[in-house]
Amino acid sequence: MPLEPSGAFAPGRVNLIGEHTDYNDGLALPFAISAGVTVRAKAARPRGGDRVAVHARDLGESDEFALASPVRAGGWRDYVRGTVAELARAGFPLVGAQLEIAGDVPRGAGLSSSAALEVALALALIALATERRGESPVELDRTALAQLCARVESDWVGAQTGLLDQLASLYGAAETAVWIDFQTLRIREVPLELGGWRLAVVDSGERHAHASSGYNQRRAECWRACELLGVSSLREAEPQLLERLPEPLRARAQHVSGENERVTAAVAALRAHDEEALAALLNASHESLRDLYEASTPAVERAVQSLLEEGAAGARMIGGGFGGSVLGLFAPGIRLPARAREVRAGPGARVL
């Protein structure tokens, strides 16, 4: 008799480099972190019930809705309702469930708490339904699942994000960075062995919410740049073609093009164990995000500056920007600032 699955865990992520490239068919190099979201799942009571009851432990809030017809309710509830709706739409047979959500990724800090939530919910709901129906666990297509979770983000929460966060959470592995080509959705594992160098994040203290930040505006600018250039994505635009664009579209497109090159250079630096070169690439990425993409804020700038002053060899904002966390790379022997939190690449999402 198979044991009832008790839920699922999905990690948050840190993007080592490759920012605002995912929705431009570009390249990125994120890794899964050890912090994440755990969803505990039990069959609904009474058995066979067709409702989903969910408790968000960290918020002390609950929700309940009919499995067949979730509608928007606002806030965190839309992640749950949206995941149920998108799973059903994709043909996953679901069963009534009691869910409990708990996590240790800070919300709104640019470490992908929302992707971790969507992925953990999806895995827990699929595993529970599979077990209840007496079926053996299915081999899931992780890329398709990432796309499903991204639809929750865009169609239910209103943030037109790319696939970076969900793919990092689903494909992450210990001591490994995940190289992603968003044009082909090809994924490669790159060993994240830093020879005693350490990565650490600091929260800028500024909350960011993609839906209300400049994120959607930047996306729209990239689309407009493509329209003007007659290409279907910025990946296809030759760097010299970008000169034709009016500002600020030219600057946005130049960031994307340069950032793709920096991802390729970062993979080479990791393979060569050249952490100095990696640190320089992090600094260049930040400068480009600040000056060309204009996705920084005074609080983010202060956080980056203080990491550099406290000994980081390289530092940059991570995630969507307009707030959130910054990442620093520290040479062996350099003490991490007290408020910095060391991050290492950990395993990806899994059923518990």
Q: Which residues bind ligand GLA (CB under 6 A)?
A: 19-20, 22-23, 161-162, 164-165, 319-320
Q: Are 297 and 204 in contact (CB under 8 A)?
A: yes
Q: Which of 25, 63, 78, 165 is catalytic?
A: 165
Calpha distance 295→288 (Å, rounded): 9
- CA 252 from chain centre, in angstroms, equals 21
Which of residues 36 and 320 has its CB atom nearest to ligand GLA in the complex? 320
Known catalytic membership, residue 22: no
* Separation of alpha carbons 166 and 110, rounded Å: 13
Q: How far is the CB of 169 from ligand GLA (least distance, A)?
A: 11
SS3 164: helix
Angle (CA) 50 51 53, round 5°: 150
From the CB of 215, what's the least distance to ligand GLA, in Å?
Answer: 7
Nearest distance from C-beta of residue 137 to ligand GLA, angstroms: 28
Q: Report the residue number, 314 or 319, with the smaller CB distance to ligand GLA.
A: 319
Nearest CA to 164 out of 146, 186, 188, 176 is that of 146
Q: How far is the C-alpha of 215 from the C-alpha of 20, rounded, in Å?
A: 9
Residue type, 312: A
What is the token pair recorded at 218? 């930047």
Question: 53 vs 185, which CB is nearer to ligand GLA?
Answer: 185
Is residue 115 a contact partner of residue 166, using CB atoms and an 8 Å limit? yes
For the bound state, the minimum distance from the C-beta of residue 91 to ligand GLA, rounded and expressed in Å, comes to 25
Structure tokens at 248: 């600020």
Q: Which residue's CB is nearer to ligand GLA, number 161 or number 257?
A: 161
> Is the Cβ of residue 130 or residue 285 nearer to ligand GLA in the bound state?
285
Q: How far is the CB of 262 from ligand GLA (least distance, A)?
A: 13
Distance CA 181, CA 184 (A): 6
CB atoms within 10 A of CB 237: 22
Annotated catalytic residues are: 165
